[in-house]
Amino acid sequence: MDEGLRNELSKQGIFTTKLADLYNWGRKNSVWPLQFGLACCAIEMIATSMARYDLARFGAEVFRPSPRQADLMIVAGTVTKKMAPQVVRLFNQMPEPKYVIAMGACAISGGPFKQGYNVLKGIDRYIPVDVHIPGCPPRPEALLHAFMTLQAKIDAQSLTGPDRPRHLNADAPSEFPVPQFGAHDLEPPNNPEVWHPPTIVRQG
Amino acid sequence: MTEYNPYLLIAVFLLAAAGFAVSPLLLAYLWAKLFSPKKPGPDKNAVYECGLQSKGDAWVQFRSEYYLYGIIFLIFDVETIFLLPFAVAFTSLPVGAFIAMMVFLLLLVEGLVWAWRKGILTWQ
């Protein structure tokens, strides 16, 4: 059905939709986050879920204390190297489809602790991150924007084809290798299948 | 008018209610079966879900003798609940109430004596 006919029908009070659109609409409005905070960003995450910012408007107020019931992992805060294996394991235990929002400078890059010996320089080294939010910490509005970005991402997915959602794709891995504590660093230091660092292009 | 059984309506409602409850579950099950491939793994099937590595099995044995501790706890628990109001109202109680309370206490103490003689109170 083309857009013009749909417009014409909606003027007459007839609403038409596609099954895929309806499915994605349901999916994007019922994303349950994992109740999981690592540092100060978690305070902003809590504020987002409370009355003033009200994450419930987006159908995501049900913070689940168990990864078995969660769809979205908000990595809110500094991921230390001690904590990284636990974060990956929690992500592995979430059922499909699952999404990750890396919240704050620490979660996306190590932030102010990037030069430190004990902080992971971005959780996207081990798990696939859908939305990155910069900020130290990001305000609740930024988390809401990230959430809306994730919703737009879910909405744009088609149910078939190469960009179909993870839970309909048998090839998309559900578990990612959990890093081990090595002598000096986590081993492996990153998961090359997940981590695609941008290449720096120097001018002049 | 034909013969009509009033209970038939309840049966219809029962069927409708069961269908209302079961059909979403059935649809979800069918959807999972038909479209969503299963993706089990060692972490996903782990017993414990707090991020830490799971150790052991969820099917562990509990000592069945535990129920005796539970019962003895109950003796003292019930005794406390009834003894406090009894003590508060003690001076204005008639003799009958006092005797009834003593019988009640006797029954509980009897249970305690039984447990004691059975050797439950010695820690193993």
- What's the ipTM? 0.73
A74 close to B28: Cβ distance less than 8 angstroms: no
How confident is residue A198, by pLDDT bands cut at 50, 70 and 90? confident
What does the CA dihedral B24, B26, B28, B29 come to, rounded to 10 degrees?
160
**Does the beta-carbon distance from A93 to B35 stay under 8 Å?**
no
Residue B1 pLDDT exceeds 70: no
d(CA A105, CA A117): 17
- What's residue A16's pLDDT? 86
Average pLDDT value for chain A: 90
Rounded to the nearest angstrom, the gap between the alpha carbon of residue A94 and the centroid of all alpha carbons in its chain is 12
**Does the beta-carbon distance from B44 to A93 stay under 8 Å?**
yes
Q: Name the more confident of B68 and A14.
A: A14
Burial class for A53, CB neighbours closer than 10 Å (0-12, 13-18, 19+)? middle
**Does the beta-carbon distance from B35 to A168 stay under 8 Å?**
yes
**Does the beta-carbon distance from B39 to A66 stay under 8 Å?**
no
Using CA coordinates, name the residue in chain B closest to A23: B31
C-alpha angle A83-A86-A89 in degrees, rounded to nearest 5: 150
Q: Which amino acid is at B114?
A: W
Residues 6+ apart with CB under 8 A from A165: A27, A97, A154, A157, A159
Using CA coordinates, name the residue in chain A closest to B42: A175
Name which of B27, B33, B38, B44 to mutate to probe chain A: the one with the most chain A Cβ atoms within 10 A of its Cβ: B44
Using CA coordinates, name the residue in chain B closest to A159: B35
Query: Angle A19-28/A140-156 helices, nearest 10 degrees?
Result: 160
Kindly state whether A179 is in contact with chain B, defined as any CB-CB distance less than 8 angstroms. no
How confident is residue B122, by pLDDT bands cut at 50, 70 and 90? confident
Name which of A71, A92, A93 to mutate to probe chain B: the one with the most chain B Cβ atoms within 10 A of its Cβ: A93
A152 close to A160: Cβ distance less than 8 angstroms: no
d(CA B69, CA B72): 5
For residue B43, which of A95, A128, A24, A172 has the smallest C-alpha distance?
A95
Residue B124 pLDDT exceeds 90: no
B56 Ramachandran zone, left/alpha/beta (phi>0; psi -120 to 50):
left
Each residue's pLDDT tens digit, A78-109: 999 999 999 999 999 998 889 999 999 999 99
Q: Which of B35, B37, B43 has its CB closest to that of A89? A: B43
Starting at the earlier edge strand, list the strands of the sheet with A99-103.
A72-76, A99-103, A131-133
Q: Which of A66, A92, A170 has its CB closest to that of B43? A: A92
Q: What string of H, E and C letters represents the secondary structure of B13-41?
A: HHHHHHHHHHHHHHHHHHHHHHCCCCCCC
d(CA A165, CA A13): 32
Each residue's pLDDT tens digit, B4-15: 788 888 999 999
Residue B63 pLDDT exceeds 80: no
Instruction: Show which residues on chain B lie within 8 Å of chain A, measured between beta carbons.
Output: 35-37, 39-44, 46, 49-53
d(CA A97, CA A111): 28
Q: Could you tell me the pTM of the whole model?
A: 0.76
Cβ contacts (< 8 Å) between A178 and chain B: which residues? 43
- Helix ranges restricted to H, B1-124: 6-34, 66-88, 95-117
How confident is residue A159, by pLDDT bands cut at 50, 70 and 90? confident
**Does the beta-carbon distance from B43 to A86 stay under 8 Å?**
no
How confident is residue A1, by pLDDT bands cut at 50, 70 and 90? confident
Cβ contacts (< 8 Å) between A89 and chain B: which residues? 43, 51-53
Task: Dig out the tokens for B20 from the structure.
Answer: 């209302």
